[in-house]
A and B are shown apart, each in its own frame.
Chain A
Amino acid sequence: MSENNNVDAPTSEEAPEPEDIPMMQRLLDNPFVLLVLGIAVPAVFYIIWGIIEITQIPIAD
């Protein structure tokens, strides 16, 4: 059956964090750490490194 409702969204409850989640899974479960990595890696290796090389090109006399 279909519903068409105005409802209260589920409320947040304090739940104990499982202790044995592997580090890699913790990383993949954290969108904001991934966001930082996804900006930092190309910013460093592509943009900053590239700009440093361009600024070191000698100016023609």
Chain B
Amino acid sequence: MGKLFDYRTCPTTGLRVDRAAENLIKANAVVAIVFLAIGGLFGLLVALTRWPAVHFLPADWFYLALTAHGFDVLLVWIIFFEMAVLYFASAVVLNSRLAGPKWAWTGFGLMLVGAVTTNVAVLQGGSSVMFTSYVPMMAEPHFYLGVILFAVGALLGCGVFFGTLVVAKREKTYEGSIPLVTFGALTAAIIAVFTIASGAIILIPTLLWSVGLVSHIDPLIYKTIWWAMGHSSQQINVAAHVAVWYAIAAMVFGAKPLSEKISRMAFLMYILFLQLASAHHLLAEPGLSSEWKIFNTSYAMYLAVLGSMIHGLSVPGAIEAAQRSRGLTKGMFEWLRKAPWDNPAFSGMFMSLVFFGFIGGISGVVMGTEQINLIMHNTIYVPGHFHGTVVAGTTLAFMAITYLLVPLIFRRELMMKKIARWQPYVFGFGVAGISIFMMGAGTLGVSRRHWDMTFADAVLPFDYPAAAYLMMTLNGIFAILAAIGGIMFVVVVVGSVFFGKKLAEDEKPSYPEVPPESVAVSHYGSSETLKIPGTIMLVSIFFVAFVLYYFVNWKYLSEVWPLS
């Protein structure tokens, strides 16, 4: 016999929504957005300090704010939201009950206690060790304890996700293979397990070191294992936001992937190889061989990049196929021109896809090449790259799907629709600017995590080129734009969740529009067409940009090391 569970039927998609899963999605999403707001504020303070003419914070506060910013947005906001995505992609998409809601709540509690504990440790001022907390810099013990508790909670959440897959299969809530969105979430959960295990392996001894029970932690071993957590945690994001792209394409257009099999193979590339990109943080370490570096960051990572490029073709291709099937067949781009650009779920998703590919993706491959990595290793190019992946890519995608979750899961009408329409553009272009100008400054040699780029109190003076100052100023201006976009998001979502018109059980939301075809999100199946000339053109432009930028960086390298 199956167990009792309490559900409602979604009037829009017809899916059964387990109320336990629904409440967990709400709780995780709300806490995620609170930490996004906190972490985003710290990020603005960091950007204003790195703006040479403003130089807002004193040095000690700068490093405190940078530590809090990194932890709150790179780990807490993202992982809380990913828990919401995992519960949505398992229980809701599979029409199933959630396995072990009590375990899920325990995990949620541990994550919350851990996040607050680490934030308290940072705000007390004795743990300004950056998100990476490289040894031999030592933080307060409760800094490490908080991260460990957070990780254990997230691991419980992953366990509940796997359990729900088992329950759904056993209770036959779906037929055949799991839908692609759930497969993407599965990929994220698998990478999360590796990430959390790596974190435990290195942070538990570091906690013991901080309380005096372990005498020494080798810095290079720490760095190697820490990045298995630190970089892989960002690969959870990649898998999760690609799943979100497919989900939004299905829910807004009823789009099916061009080929389920090929998209699933692309996710398999992530499962096998994406975590190996962690090695790019160690490309300048003399203690590790070129074989290890090149295998991990080039041969293996390129297979994961191949996966991303398949998704980069498949998602817009699926949208184009769905639009063309509705008669939008004029020319190459009628399907794109007549896409719902005033729907923040779509506009946010599409900008996330473009920025992730053009900014985060291309720069990631450049940084993963051992030789040209040396031009920008540990410069502000690195945060420029990951603001392109994690913020313009992941955060924008998560913001986009939130505009669907508010009416469908929170059952509230979206308020302030005009602000909601503009929000993805303000935030997206703000973050794209941050990424591009940080990368520009990094190419000119500006170091990351540095309070004063003028080196005002240095014994040996050093000047960056004037263009580097311009880049950092533009970075500050675009950070303000992104912060305005972030505030718009928080105002719309928090306002709607608490004060939006309540939707009756059988009432469909008026905005954003979710068509009945959105049920495609919960089905396995392909559109099985390659009549996607517009997408082919977009992908061709991407390849040209990719090749040009890659070789431009080799040209830069040749100028750093003149050979004649």
Contact = CB atoms under 8 A, between A and B. Distances in A.
Contacts of B221: 51, 54
A28 B263 CA distance: 11
A60 interface: no
A50 B193 contact: no
Interface residues of A, number: 35
What is the interface of chain B mostly: helix, strand, loop, or mixed?
A: helix
Contact of A39 (B97, B183, B197): B197
A53 interface: yes
B231 to A, nearest CB: 10
B11 A2 contact: yes
Interface in B264-284: 264, 268, 271-273, 275-276, 278-279, 282
B8 A38 contact: no
A4 B16 CA distance: 10
B232 interface: yes
B272 A38 contact: yes
A2 B3 CA distance: 22
Contact of A11 (B2, B9, B97, B273): B2
A46 B278 contact: yes
Contacts, number: 126
Contact of B288 (A2, A28, A29, A54): A54
A41 B273 contact: yes
A9 to B, nearest CB: 3
Contact of B224 (A6, A10, A47): A47
Interface in B239-281: 261, 264, 268, 271-273, 275-276, 278-279
B123 interface: no
Nearest to B297: A46
A23 interface: no
Given A5-B7, A38-B275, 7 more contacts: A2-B506, A3-B9, A5-B6, A11-B2, A12-B170, A34-B271, A43-B194
23 contacts: A3-B8, A6-B6, A7-B4, A8-B1, A8-B4, A9-B2, A11-B171, A31-B186, A35-B162, A38-B187, A38-B191, A38-B193, A38-B271, A42-B194, A42-B228, A42-B232, A42-B275, A45-B296, A46-B275, A46-B279, A46-B296, A50-B279, A53-B289
Interface of B: 1-9, 11, 97, 162, 165, 170-173, 177-178, 183, 186-187, 190-191, 193-194, 197-198, 218, 220-221, 224-225, 228, 232, 261, 264, 268, 271-273, 275-276, 278-279, 282, 287-289, 292, 295-296, 300, 504-506
Interface of A: 1-13, 25, 28-29, 31-32, 34-35, 37-39, 41-43, 45-47, 49-51, 53-54, 57
